A and B are shown apart, each in its own frame.
Chain A
Amino acid sequence: RKEVEQDPGPFNVPEGATVAFNCTYSNSASQSFFWYRQDCRKEPKLLMSVYSSGNEDGRFTAQLNRASQYISLLIRDSKLSDSATYLCVVSLEAGGSYIPTFGRGTSLIVHP
């Protein structure tokens, strides 16, 4: 099992739709969780952090489910500009310290 897993997609949705992605992780002791967005041939950009109590920023909601070891990202009222790859990053233990471990990303395509 990969340490951080994401469905690569693509998720193909119409404008205005609600879409959700999950990211599963292998280490129950992980403490830090974030979502990044990466446009084609560009660098990743920080989207939002994921707290135990959940986190909402406009149309975006991030949730953490420690029992099932996954984080989620919900996008409401999708816009064309939301088309991108969404990367999760989780702190995973390696050699006695925790290092940031990215998933391979989930591709989202929002069409008119």
Chain B
Amino acid sequence: DAGVTQSPTHLIKTRGQQVTLRCSPKSGHDTVSWYQQALGQGPQFIFQYYEEEERQRGNFPDRFSGHQFPNYSSELNVNALLLGDSALYLCASSTGTGNPYEQYFGPGTRLTVT
């Protein structure tokens, strides 16, 4: 049973660049959420996708956008990168009909912005 997978595992970008992170949900899951986790902090909710639409969004600027594909995989795009965007980006999957807080996280993508 494949769990949540994310790519790449690490990424280094410079300020002003754009980045795309990818996520494949756990088998049987159709809902994908993205989180940003800074060092020493808890994950902060960015947004959630269900049925290829953004269902919920946290307090993040429009520079953060996403997409969900028909196979339920998802992408997180961040434009005009800032130094403060350096963090671990986590993807979590769940079932749309179950409790969305019962999530399974992927190993994350560590983004460093220089």
**Residues of B that sit less than 8 Å from A by CB:** 33, 35, 40-45, 56-59, 90, 99-108
| Residues in A whose Cβ lies below 8 Å from that of B43 | 44, 87, 102
Contact (Cβ within 8 A) B101 A100: yes
19 example contacts (A-B, Cβ-Cβ < 8 A) are as follows A8-B40, A32-B99, A32-B101, A34-B101, A42-B107, A43-B106, A43-B107, A43-B108, A44-B90, A46-B103, A46-B104, A49-B101, A89-B42, A89-B101, A95-B57, A99-B57, A100-B103, A102-B42, A102-B45
Q: A49-B102, A95-B57 are in contact. List 6 more A-B contacts (CB 8 A).
A: A32-B101, A43-B108, A87-B43, A99-B45, A100-B33, A102-B45
Contact (Cβ within 8 A) B42 A103: yes
| Residues in B whose Cβ lies below 8 Å from that of A44 | 43, 90, 105
A101 is an interface residue with CB less than 8 A from chain B: yes
Given A8, A46, A101, A105, which contacts B45 in the complex, CB threshold below 8 Å? A101
Cα of A18 to Cα of B41 in the assembled complex, Å: 25
Cα of A99 to Cα of B90 in the assembled complex, Å: 16
**Residues of A that sit less than 8 Å from B by CB:** 4, 6, 8, 32, 34, 42-46, 49, 87, 89, 91, 94-95, 97, 99-105
| Residues in A whose Cβ lies below 8 Å from that of B41 | 104-105
| Residues in B whose Cβ lies below 8 Å from that of A89 | 42, 101
Cα of A103 to Cα of B90 in the assembled complex, Å: 16
User: What is the minimal beta-carbon distance from B59 to any residue of chain A, in angstroms?
Assistant: 7
User: What is the minimal beta-carbon distance from B1 to any residue of chain A, in angstroms?
Assistant: 15
Cα of A94 to Cα of B57 in the assembled complex, Å: 9
